[in-house]
Copies of this chain bind each other. A is one copy, B any other.
Amino acid sequence: MKIALMMEFSQAAKNPIVLNELQAVAAEQDHTVFNVGMDGDNDHRLTYIHLGICASLLINSQAVDFVVAGCGTGQGAMMSLNAHPGVYCGYCIDPADAYLFAQINNGNALALPFAKGFGWGAELNVRYAFEKAFTGVKGQGYPPERKESQVANAGILAEVKAAVAKDNYLDTLKAIDPELVKTAVTGERFQACFFEHCQVEEIAEYVRGVLAA
């Protein structure tokens, strides 16, 4: 699985801590981690709004399979990611959240609070949450006997999100203030991940156009 970590300006200083835990867990499971947001010394400032756009591009182009995002409380990132079609972002403060979300909702993103409740020893909680989010088979339902209805509801949510959004995916991005999109895709590490792994040429072309504008 390809996992993107994306952090905004307000918690950029904690990026090395979170990245370290995510990489440690991912390595055990042969997942690959891409650190595509701020890492403390970026020259462009990402807010949770930009994280939503980054996640939308990476998920909808199948450049990555999963996104870990967050902000101070995690609420902004969570709402911002869920605003986009194809992105299903849970909110996770403990390992059981991570496990239940993986089994019941089987989404493709998690938003974490990187400031609220993130005190001493928070790296432990983050690691344990990643362990439960990224180990084993997802979407098995919890408890297993409720799998069928849980999977069904996840599928209906996908239909509702598709119905609410503009019919053409790129139109959802084109309707957004171009400055926001440009800032979202300016990062070198974001571009390295996106352009190398994007599976939808049309989206790659669009991003190239944004960068050239």
Contact = CB atoms under 8 A, between A and B. Distances in A.
Contacts of A80: 157, 160
A105 interface: yes
Q: How many copies does the complex hold?
A: 4
B94 A125 contact: yes
A151 interface: no
Size bracket, chain A contacts = 35 or more
Contact of A116 (B85, B115, B120, B166): B120
Interface stretch (A22-30, A46-54, A61-69, A188-196): A46-54
Interface of A: 47-49, 52-53, 72-73, 75-76, 78-80, 82-85, 88-91, 93-97, 99-101, 104-105, 107, 113, 115-122, 124-125, 128, 132, 142, 153, 156-157, 159-161, 163-167, 172, 175-177, 180
